[in-house]
Structure 1
């Protein structure tokens, strides 16, 4: 069993569903310290500890991954979600693809890089908490000044070791309208908030984000994800709310987009920001992309952008707006599913890709 596979299994065995990342951060911190890294712990909340680990001098390359995982769901698992079972060339368990295999591959590659000979580029590993709930840990790390400028950013989210050049941004909003309650048999005495919300939802459905489609990221989109209002059938509801999911492209100003939607909805509808994460995109001709491709990563193909958002939305600007590539050993289609798995061969393959790519970057 390879070192990277063993570490992935160790991490899967630690339950970090929606928290508890400190239990995974501890052994990773000890490994990185033993490899010569200066490690700083980031305690976002009780039991929720991430890491920033630095090696070498000069402007580093930043490698990042998250330690949290999503809930298991209601369906029974054939393979224990934290048993890290190996079966038919696959490693099963929650987080196997999203993204404990990526974290393990990064850590092992970083250890190899630090143990090498001759001049080598500096490294910074940023291991976050709370990514699955809106990049909370990364945002807090940046607010505390734990993340600095770098030369490039590698995100080891699941791509089956294919190079992806970015992803759309996400602007999630809660819209609310208020009315006046009354008895359901006398609706004329009230002001029905659900009717108001229905009209607002219709305006959202026809809302034009106002920008042309990106050649690779595609078009900016809008979707109403939830709607609810009222507390009982025989009352006129005085409050109704819905959530809006806007997916954006590079260059799209979220503040301006929000104000355009606010103007479309009118004064009676309030908007609250839930998540505000900008889009990410890197020129396919960037040398950092070339280094990964030369090291054996698979080319972007017809879909060069991830369908999900990542910590790169906030870490990229904090690192100085650097070239950002998403490339990790996990299977993207396995993220969040029951009986999640990762192809074992891709884990060691990722270690080789990261190690070789870092060796190609001049100090």
Structure 2
């Protein structure tokens, strides 16, 4: 199987999320895996949310990837976002980097291993909705107990020498601030503005962000690696602060009914990313103290998580990356989130590593180089071979 061709085919199969309909992409994957002689099971969520499981689930290694992609506006792309155009150097289009290229590299690697007559120590889970929180994807598979804890490689795009072995925690809150309405001409002497209450709270978030949490030696090395990687890719020299501090984003805010009425209600959607050393529950309780009187709903949460550098999956993957590129491997930790957080919380040892141009992730002109696709597929084949020898 040709890695670039599989990637190109997948990009041409539209699977934007929302709405999250992966029917056609899942069927394409099902046919590929079935052609390898692997047992395949399709697991359905609502409204075309299809997942694909394949292989013997008692095997020690899970390859996983998501089939959904973020939406793309059709205009201002060098090549149309769902063309899957191959110019000989890159595959272009939405999902080429995140992460249909990684899915293609995994399948091609397994195909070469199986075609060589070798027993395959890996099973597969391709899921439908990583981009919107995994409710009908990896979380559904875990809830149905269709996957059991093992070592896992997710083909999320990463720098080529830097597998991601951990990620910050996540806390998403919906807050509703209450006020006392009145005529706008008498404020602030009469009434209580819910908008101003929300503004005070948002201002306090800067104090929350100013705190820096201590880390152990393993995390210190990983933060240094990540800082170097981010500085090289995104010109972000303060990555160490990003990883040691609570980052926050007041993503949406809505309040008031008119310019001449003191606002009775103001709602805020808040996204926080938590470093190691602080729990979502602790942060939520402090927020309740700061936003007294506000209604607070915890939408989702998880603690910062890590697969240790001396684990089998990290050691084997790092060895194969070094063989491919002939350079030292520097594992990193993520400031964002992926399906890895759900798998780690369920007892899996997880690493994110895959091909792609991370500067185009979720952006216009998303693309993956054919050289990276080929290298990643060789690395994945090496990982499969190493697990077969265990």
TM-score normalised by length of structure 1 = 0.89
State how far apart, in whole Å, the 2-side matches of 1:24 and 1:120 are: 23
Bigger CA drift: 93-102 or 226-235? 226-235
Q: Kindly indicate whether residue 26 of structure 2 is the aligned counterpart of residue 25 of structure 1.
A: yes
What is the Cα deviation at residue 142 of structure 1?
Answer: 1.5
- Equivalent-residue separation in structure 2 for 1:287 and 1:280 (angstroms): 17
Distance 2:335 2:328 in 1: 13
Partner of 1:15: 14
The 5-angstrom pairing of residues 38-53 of structure 1 reads 38-53=39-54
Which deviations, in whole Å up to 9, do the C-alpha atoms of 1:203-260 show, x marking residues without a partner?
2221266842442343132323233311321221111122322212345422233223
1:340 corresponds in structure 2 to: 366
Q: CA deviation at 1:302?
A: 6.0
Q: Kindly tell me: are residues 118 and 141 of structure 1, through their superposed partners in 2, closer, same or farther at Cα, counting changes over 3 Å?
A: closer
Give the distance between the partners of 1:253 and 1:321, measured in 2 at CA: 20
Deviates further, 200-209 or 126-135: 200-209
For residues 259 and 164 of structure 1, what CA distance do their matches in structure 2 show? 30
> Counterpart of 1:234?
260
Shift of 1:45: 1.8
User: How many aligned positions are there?
Assistant: 356
- Unaligned 5+ segments in structure 2 are 224-242
Moved more, 171-180 or 290-299: 290-299
Shift of 1:177: 0.6
Q: Unaligned 5+ residue runs, structure 1?
A: none
Aligned equivalents of 2:281, 2:371: Cα separation in 1: 44
CA contact (8 A) 2:96 2:356 kept: yes
Q: Give the whole-Å Cα distance in 1 for the aligned partners of 2:103 and 2:139.
A: 19
My pick for the range that moved more, 240-249 or 309-318, is: 240-249
RMSD: 2.4
Which residue pairs with 2:307 in the alignment?
282
The 5 A counterparts of 1:1-363 are: 3-18=2-17, 19-55=20-56, 58-73=58-73, 76-87=76-87, 89-118=89-118, 120-121=120-121, 123-136=122-135, 137-150=137-150, 152-162=151-161, 163-187=163-187, 188-207=189-208, 211-213=213-215, 214-215=219-220, 216-217=222-223, 218-226=243-251, 227-250=253-276, 252-263=278-289, 265-296=290-321, 304-318=332-346, 320-322=347-349, 324-361=350-387, 362-363=389-390
Runs of 4+ in 1 over 6 A off after TM superposition: none
CA gap of 1:331–1:177, structure 2 versus 1, over 3 A, is same
Distance 1:332 1:67, change over 3 A: same
Structure 2 distance, partners of 1:177, 1:15, is 40
SS of equivalent to 1:271: strand
| Structure-2 separation of matches of 1:185 and 1:39 | 67
Please identify, of 298-307 and 170-179, the stretch whose mean Cα deviation from structure 2 is larger. Answer: 298-307
Report SS of the residue matched to 1:275: strand
Moved more, 25-34 or 133-142: 133-142
Q: Say whether the 8 Å CA contact 1:59–1:149 is kept in structure 2.
A: no
Given that 1:4 and 1:105 are in contact with CA atoms closer than 8 Å, whether structure 2 keeps it comes out as yes
Deviation of 1:288 (Å): 2.0
Greater share of helix: 2
Q: Report how far residue 48 of structure 1 moved.
A: 1.5
